[in-house]
Amino acid sequence: MPIEHDVWFTEDAGEFLARTGDHLAQEPVTGTVVTTIAQRIRETGRGGLVHCWFAVVTGPDGAITGIAMRTAPFAPYPVYLLAMPDDAVAALAAAVLERGEDVGGATGLRPAADLFAAAIADATGRSVANGLHHRLFELGTLVDPRPVPGRLRPVRPDEAELALAWVQRFFADADEQAGRPAGHDGEAAAFGIDDVQRKLAEDVLWFWEDAEGRVVHLIGANPPAYGVSRIGPVSTPKEERGRGWAGAAVAEVSRLLRERGDRVILFTDQANPTSNALYQALGYEPVVDTVRIDIG
């Protein structure tokens, strides 16, 4: 017999974190996307987000059984789900539809995201199409890559526009390497100069420059949430690939984050075997798979 679940919604990130903080702290690695976005919205506001809500699913005893949010800044504004039982997924889907939401996509941890998308599609007479597949990795024992010339340095404030161009190129290159059309999921268009400025203020954006001082690689991270820091983006232009810049930069940033006491994680695109091999060679170990699903 299905277990009864209640679903609570809020548009207040601070209220959401106050209610779920202890729960999120128990699984800070798999909850990384929710915690970093919720903390950012709590501190800086929702900005121009079309949708901005958080949901908490609870069982009969009041214990949290699932967490979701809708904060994506790009169409079709997918709902992001953390792990939850099938009954909790069904309750969440029914509650979202009861709110009158037009849901065009789902993303997050598998299989919850898959089940949610299927439930929405079934209830609205639509179909689902799987898009992006990612894998979350956590750093185990850091394995130093082969040494390369140059050094890691912070991106300077006067390089904000340059850094933005590198990030935009990162998204385009990721689509090309995976055989997808450029701008596949709208995330690139949603990332702008304000996001670069925020990362500069948080001291989580770096260039790797070679021995001659040429910038050859860009790497970023997110501020820690519950003791976990997430690396990304990691971008090397085509003409500089195969020279060890990415491995050196990821290793150096991983070391910096770990030395301050953080657990270090990153996501990889499962359609890009090169990056997956690189990170595993550095000591990153798989944790969980995520998916982006379109509903149409």
Model confidence pLDDT, tens digit, residues 109-143: 999 999 999 999 999 999 999 878 999 999 999 99
**Which residue carries 């001291």 as its tokens?**
203
pLDDT for position 180: 57
pLDDT for position 175: 65
pLDDT for position 132: 87
Q: At a CB cut-off of 8 Å and minimum separation 6, what does 36 contact?
A: 222, 223, 225, 230
The rounded percent of the chain whose pLDDT value lies above 90 is: 85
* Pairwise CA distance, residues 37 & 23, whole Å: 16
Closest-CA residue to 216 (of 180, 179, 192, 243): 243
pTM: 0.92
Model confidence pLDDT, tens digit, residues 211-242: 999 999 999 999 999 999 999 999 999 899 99
pLDDT for position 2: 67
Task: Write the DSSP string, 29-54.
Answer: TTTHHHHHHHHHHHHH--TT-S--EE
